Structure 1
Amino acid sequence: MDGAGREVTIDAEPQRILSLGPSATETLFALGRGDRLVGRTDWCNFPEAALEVPSVGSLFPPDYERILSTEPDLVVMIEGSVDVRERLEQEYGLTVFVYAPASFEQLYAQMVALGQAVNAREAAEAIVAEIQGEVDAIYAKVLPISYSPSVFYQVWPDPLSTAGPGSFIDDMIRIAGGSNVAGDADGPWPVYSLEQLLAADPAIIVAGSEAMAQDILTRPGWESLRAVREGRVYGVPNEDIVVRPGPRLVEGLRWFAETLHPGLFGQ
């Protein structure tokens, strides 16, 4: 079962894998299948060895000629491109596996499923066990604490957008002992008005980069926010560790936990 809830039939162990998503590329390398990659997107930049794999360009829009030139026997891609997936399957007859976890529970299941698809189930189960152990340890540490700071995560400043339910960031904030002010939004990446933000008045604001965090501290109209007044505005040191659903996500969770509860983690 892939990330789109489909049964994917793979007749033989894939030898030529095309990755159309950074998270898929990272996961395939972690599974020991990086040497079978025949193509990647421009966004697939980790691990460093991925840069040696030929790029087929961007997925938005896709370059079908370059994609087909890789002659893949398996395509692993993200779910946000249903039209591309259907064309690859129906028009070009390619086998496509969707890798699109949006929570740690989904990550565990889909990583094992991808491992099964590329004959690396044992490696996938070992990685999942390691990630799950770290996640459980962090959660156990913050669980007894009654203080659950309200958090706003800025994805983009204009239009102001955030992370809502169905996003990995929402899951991370919860596990790290925080409360996402956009936790009841309509979708995973909603637009959020300044009026909504002022009403929520979060204790902590997190931005996708250090530069955006610095901008927030001097942004007109935001000076009355509690997080700005108290200097509790933080930039993720590397946004990839909180937005790419792969093996490095536990680093992002650890960063969130240490940022939300610095005394607990000796920061």
Structure 2
Amino acid sequence: MSLPPDHEEAPARGRRSPADVVRDAAWRLATAMLTAPSPEPRVRTPRVPGERSAAGRFLLVVGGLAAVAVTVLLVVLVVTRPYQQSARPEQAAGLPERPAAAPSPSAPASPAPATTSRAAGSPSPPPRVAVSSVSPPASRSASASAVAVAVPLAATYRTTPYVAGLLGYRTEVTVANPATAARDGWTLTVTLPRATLWINQVEGATVTRQDAVWTFVPDESTTAIPPGGQVGISFEVHGATLLDAAPADCRIDGAPCTS
């Protein structure tokens, strides 16, 4: 049997391996990706500076009107005060009105003459003068101030050595006022056992030296001592302080201190 001339026999296709199938699929996918049209980018129109949306402009206008209305209402309430009626303090408190004050007399009335029960011609006894045993206020204040000034200040001191006395020691002095009057100013003298020792790191006073005698005077924070009060100063002693370095003498306004 012969076939028509325009009909050609299709070539026989052999069996395709899995590798051929995968290769053909990959080729089709790559072709589709290369030939597909690229998506058009979305361009965002920038907002013009100063341009606001309709909702924002509306809220801005409403807020401005509300602020103006509240301001006007507050001004009206503060200036006019329609809730407060004008009334005098007596009427506002519910009290009766005060009566008008009576005019004071222009001249004081003369006192009535005193009557005596003694008969005419009898001598009147001499007036008795009352002697008061109470001293005048001026003398009382002078004596009280003298007693207050006579009470001396009291001072106590305490030493704290550094590393068993090898690096010196620190001294704290407390100046107390047991009197009933305030004291302003004082002088503290400390005598060290040797002139080779020296004092530094002074707090609450200023110090001067003459050989082994050190004189302290108060500064602005310790010059005034109230009645029954006290102030404190401190300083450090350095030198050969391992043996016999404690203060040999301490006096406050000439009175000895206590340790």
Tell me the TM-score normalized by structure 2.
Answer: 0.18
The structure with more radius of gyration: 2
TM-score scaled by length of structure 1: 0.18
